[in-house]
Structure 1
Amino acid sequence: MVDMSEILNMVREGRLSEATSSIQRRLSGDDASTPTGTGPMKDVTPKARVLPEPGPATVKKTRGKSVRPKRDAWSGKPRRPATEPPLPAGSQWLARGGDLPYRLFVPSTPKADAPLIVMLHGCTQTPEDFATGTAMQAAAEAAGAYVIWPEQSNRANMNRCWNWFEPAHQGRSGEAARIVAIVAKVLDEIGDRRTVHAAGLSAGGAMAAILGAQYPDVFTSVGIHSGLPAGSAQDVGSAFAAMGSGGRAGVALAVPAIVFHGTADRTVAFANAAALLPGGKLPPDAPQRRDRIGGRQVSVATVTIPGQSHPSELWEVADLGHAWSGGDAAGSYADPVGPDATAEMMRFFSGR
C-alpha cells in the first residue's frame, strides 16, 4: 500500500518514474488503499509530466481481438468521451477559437436577469464531456442563462488540467486572466452587464477558487466541486500534498461560494472543502442542516463571511467519491446519485 506521503517523497527526490507508477496504481484502484465503488479517480493529476493522459478508453482492435472500453462505475456502461452534449430545443452550442478556445451555450430565450456562468472542466475532460456530465446546459436553458465552457489544451497540460498549482496562474495573470478575457468578450457580445459566476470540478474547481479570490470585480460568486483553495500549492510536490491531506488557502475567497465535496473522495481530500472557508475551518456556530437528498446523507453548512453580501454554503455529501454529484453518467466523473449539484449551483448563482 502506497500513501500520499510516500508519493510526495518520491517526487521531491526526483524519482518520478516510481512516483508515476505508484500514482497510477492509486488512482486506477489497483492499490489496496483505494476503496472500491467510488468511481474513476484519475481526474486531478496536477502535472502533465507525472502521469500520462488517462482519458476514457475506446473500442479498438489489438491483434484481431476487440479491447473493450472501461465501464463506468455507476452505470456499468462502456465509458467513452462525450463528443456532443445534449442540447435543449432552440439552444445553440457555439465553438470559439483564440488564445483559449471555448464553447458558448446560448439559451433559446435569453433572459436579461439570468446569470452568465463559466464552467471549468476537470483533468482529461473537454467542454462537451463536462457539459454532458453536469447537464448545466439544461439548467441554463430553464433560467435563460448563457454558459461559457473554456477548454484547456493538452499543450498547456497533457492531462488537460488547469494549472492551478503554478504561481503564474494563481493571480490576475496566466490562465485566470485568459478566462476573464473571454468573459469580457462574451459580455460585450451579448450587450448587457449581467452577473458572472464561475464553477468547476476538481482542477476546474481549484481554478474557480482562484477566480473567486483574485477577481471579485468580475465574479459575483463561485461554485467549487471537489476542488482546492487558491494558492494551496506552488509546485508539483505541494499539489500532491494538498490533494492528499488538505491544502491551505494562500489567498482567501473574496466572493460567496457554494462548495460541494464528497466524504469518500480519495483524489482530493475532503479537508480541502473547509479549507476554502475563512480561517480554513467551519465555524462551530455555523448553522447546519442534515438531510437525505437524492439518495445520500448530506450536511449543508451556511457561513456568513464579513464583508460579503450573501452567505456561502458547504455541502458535505456522504459516500460521494471524486465526481459531480447528481450528474449524468454519460459524461466522465459524474455520479447520478444526488444531491443535484447543478441545480443547487444554479439556485445559488441566480439569487445573487
Structure 2
Amino acid sequence: MTMKPNINMLEATRLTREGRLAEAIAILQGTLSGDHPPATSSSSSEDANHRPAGRRTARIIDMVPPSAGGGAWTLPTFDLPPKASSPLGGFAGASGQPQVPEALRGFLDRMGQPGSGVSLDGLAGRGSARAPAPLPEGARFEERTFANEAGSRTYKLYIPSGYTGQPVPLVVMLHGCTQSPDDFAAGTRMNELAEEQTFLVAYPAQAQSANVSKCWNWFNAADQQRDRGEPSLIAGITRQIMRDLSVEPGRVYVAGLSAGGAAAAIMGSAYPDLYAAVGVHSGLAYGAARDMPSAFAAMRQGGAPHQGEAKQPVPTIVFHGDRDTTVNPINGEQVATQSKAGSDLRTTVRRGQAPGGINYSRTVACDDNGHPMLEHWVLHGAGHAWSGGSPSGSYTEPRGPDASREMMRFFLEHPKPAAASRV
C-alpha cells in the first residue's frame, strides 16, 4: 500500500486506546487528518475549534520502551473494549477484535497488530532515573537554555575542573530517544574523559513537546536543513558556548547515539564549517528518511541519503553493532559512504578484540596524504548500544571497545583550519 506522509500515528494511537478503532483506521487510511479529529466526539470537536489555525502536529515515532531485561521497543499495546461495548462498526469480527481491511494489512504488519504488542524496533533507549554521579572538585555541570526562531532547548554543559579560561575543545553530544543529558553523560562516561583530557561537553536535551519520546526528529525534512528547525537549535547551542567560554578554534565536534547519531550526521553534513569531525554511533545518514514511513523503512533496510552541504570529506568515526536489530547495520555503511563526499579514499581493515570480549573490525580510510578521514568500527555480536559504556546509563555495551575514548582520539586528530570556519 501507499503510506501517506500526513498520517498522524500519535492521534491514531490515542483513538485506538479509547476504543475508537474505526476513526483510528480512517486516519491510517488517510481519509481523516490527525489534526482534525472527527465530529463524533464533542470534546474532540471543541478542541479542534480552539486549535490555532495552521498548527502542525509534529510527526513522531512513539514507542514503548523494553523491559528492564532488554529487548525491542514496541508500539503501544492497544486496550480494545469488549465486543458488547465496542464501537468498531463494520470492522469488528466475531471475536470482538478488529477485522483489518486488506489495504491496511501490510502497513499494520510492519507497525504491530492492534492488541498484539508485536514489536517494531525503535530509535531509543531505556531512560535512567539514577542520581547523577558526584562532580570532581572544581568541575561544573550546568543547565542552560538557548532559544531562536525555531524554539528553545535546554542543555547541560560540563566544564571540567582543569578549565581556567584557556581555549579548549568542545564536544556536542546528542542523546537517543527517552534519554536525558544526565543519562547520556553517565552511559558514555564522556564527562570523565573531559575531566581527564580537559575539554567541554554539551548535551542538548530534546523537548518532549517536540517529540513525545524525546527523539531528535532526524526523519523530518524540516529538521534536516541548515539554520532551520532542530539543526538551527543545536548549532545555536554550539555557537552560544563558543561565545560564552573559550573554545579552541577549529576543535568543535558533534556525536550522538541512535536518533542522536542520525542528528549528528545531519549536523556534520549541514554545518561542515562549524564541526571539525563527527561521531555517529548506531545512527543513520543525513537524508536517509524524509518522513515517518521512510524512517521505519530506513531503520529496517537503510535509506537513500543525501550529500548535504559538504563538498569535501567530513572526518567521521562510525560505530555500529552487526547484531543491531533496531537500526540495520547497513546504515553505518551509508554514514561512512556519505562522509566521503564522493572522494576516492584508500582503506585498510584491522581486526581486534576489546578487553571485555567484543570482537570488532575497524576500517580506516585515508586521503592521498595518508591522513585518516574515516573510521568505521563494526562491533561483532553487539546490538543497539553505546560501545564501552557504563551500566549506570541506558543502552550501553560495556564489553565493547571504548567508543568515547576512540571518538575523542579521532576528533583531536582532526582540527579544522581557522580559514575553513564561518560560524
TM category (shorter chain) comes to 0.7 to 0.9
1:148 partnered with 2:199: no
1:218 partnered with 2:283: no
Question: What is residue 292 of structure 1 aligned with on the other side?
Answer: 353
Output the amino acid matched with 1:96: R
1:321 partnered with 2:383: yes
Q: Tell me, in whole angstroms, the C-alpha distance in 1 between the residues paired with 2:265 and 2:278.
A: 7
The structure-2 alpha-carbon separation of the partners of 1:248 and 1:79, relative to structure 1 and needing over 3 Å to count, comes to closer
Report the alpha carbon displacement of residue 89 of structure 1 after superposing the two structures with TM. Answer: 3.5
Find the residue that maps to 1:115 and give its secondary structure: strand
The structure-2 alpha-carbon separation of the partners of 1:274 and 1:114, relative to structure 1 and needing over 3 Å to count, comes to same
Structure possessing the higher radius of gyration over alpha carbons: 2
1:186 to 226, 241, 252: 241
Report the alpha carbon displacement of residue 10 of structure 1 after superposing the two structures with TM. Answer: 7.4
CA RMSD of aligned residues (A): 3.1
1:96 to 124, 128, 144: 144
Q: Tell me, in whole angstroms, the C-alpha distance in 2 between the residues paired with 1:178 and 1:187.
A: 14
Report the alpha carbon displacement of residue 342 of structure 1 after superposing the two structures with TM. Answer: 0.8
The structure-2 alpha-carbon separation of the partners of 1:158 and 1:193, relative to structure 1 and needing over 3 Å to count, comes to same
The structure-2 alpha-carbon separation of the partners of 1:161 and 1:83, relative to structure 1 and needing over 3 Å to count, comes to farther
Q: Tell me, in whole angstroms, the C-alpha distance in 2 between the residues paired with 1:224 and 1:308.
A: 23
Contact 1:117–1:146 at 8 Å: present in 2 too?
Answer: yes
Find the residue that maps to 2:153 and give its secondary structure: coil
Which runs of structure 1 show a deviation greater than 6 angstroms over 4 or more consecutive aligned residues? 8-13, 279-284, 306-309
Matches within 5 A, 1:67-106: 70-71=68-69, 80-98=128-146, 99-106=152-159
Q: Tell me, in whole angstroms, the C-alpha distance in 2 between the residues paired with 1:240 and 1:107.
A: 39
The structure-2 alpha-carbon separation of the partners of 1:83 and 1:286, relative to structure 1 and needing over 3 Å to count, comes to same
1:228 partnered with 2:284: yes
The structure-2 alpha-carbon separation of the partners of 1:235 and 1:89, relative to structure 1 and needing over 3 Å to count, comes to same
Report the alpha carbon displacement of residue 267 of structure 1 after superposing the two structures with TM. Answer: 0.4
Find the residue that maps to 2:381 and give its secondary structure: coil
2:337 to 274, 278, 290: 278
Structure 1 gaps, min length 5: 1-7, 21-46, 57-68
Question: What is residue 51 of structure 1 aligned with on the other side?
Answer: 62
Question: What is residue 229 of structure 2 aligned with on the other side?
Answer: 174
Out of 106-115 and 89-98, give the one that drifted further: 106-115
The structure-2 alpha-carbon separation of the partners of 1:351 and 1:279, relative to structure 1 and needing over 3 Å to count, comes to closer
Q: Tell me, in whole angstroms, the C-alpha distance in 2 between the residues paired with 1:127 and 1:15.
A: 28
Q: Tell me, in whole angstroms, the C-alpha distance in 2 between the residues paired with 1:308 and 1:228.
A: 27
Report the alpha carbon displacement of residue 193 of structure 1 after superposing the two structures with TM. Answer: 3.8
Contact 2:159–2:199 at 8 Å: present in 1 too?
Answer: yes
> When the two structures are superposed, what TM-score results if normalisation uses the length of structure 2?
0.65
Report the alpha carbon displacement of residue 11 of structure 1 after superposing the two structures with TM. Answer: 7.9
1:335 to 379, 397, 420: 397
Write the deviation string for residues 197-250 of structure 1: whole angstroms up to 9, x where unpaired: 000000000010011101011000010000000011000011111100112321
1:265 partnered with 2:324: yes
Find the residue that maps to 1:148 and give its secondary structure: strand
Contact 1:72–1:329 at 8 Å: present in 2 too?
Answer: no
The structure-2 alpha-carbon separation of the partners of 1:308 and 1:243, relative to structure 1 and needing over 3 Å to count, comes to farther
Matches within 5 A, 1:201-212: 201-212=257-268
The structure-2 alpha-carbon separation of the partners of 1:15 and 1:136, relative to structure 1 and needing over 3 Å to count, comes to closer
Question: What is residue 41 of structure 1 aligned with on the other side?
Answer: none
Write the deviation string for residues 261-307 of structure 1: whole angstroms up to 9, x where unpaired: 00010000000011113369998962010111231111000113589
> When the two structures are superposed, what TM-score results if normalisation uses the length of structure 1?
0.77
Contact 2:345–2:368 at 8 Å: present in 1 too?
Answer: no
Report the alpha carbon displacement of residue 251 of structure 1 after superposing the two structures with TM. Answer: 2.0
Q: Tell me, in whole angstroms, the C-alpha distance in 1 between the residues paired with 2:270 and 2:325.
A: 28
Find the residue that maps to 1:311 and give its secondary structure: strand
Q: How many residues align?
A: 302
Q: Tell me, in whole angstroms, the C-alpha distance in 2 between the residues paired with 1:181 and 1:261.
A: 28
Question: What is residue 137 of structure 1 aligned with on the other side?
Answer: 191
Question: What is residue 26 of structure 1 aligned with on the other side?
Answer: none
Over the matched positions of the two proteins, sequence identity in percent amounts to 41
Find the residue that maps to 2:404 and give its secondary structure: helix
Output the amino acid matched with 2:315: P
Output the amino acid matched with 2:204: P
Find the residue that maps to 1:163 and give its secondary structure: coil
The structure-2 alpha-carbon separation of the partners of 1:249 and 1:138, relative to structure 1 and needing over 3 Å to count, comes to same
Output the amino acid matched with 1:93: F
Question: What is residue 3 of structure 1 aligned with on the other side?
Answer: none
Contact 1:213–1:251 at 8 Å: present in 2 too?
Answer: yes
Report the alpha carbon displacement of residue 326 of structure 1 after superposing the two structures with TM. Answer: 0.6
Q: Tell me, in whole angstroms, the C-alpha distance in 1 between the residues paired with 2:180 and 2:8.
A: 31
Question: What is residue 117 of structure 2 aligned with on the other side?
Answer: none
Output the amino acid matched with 1:191: S
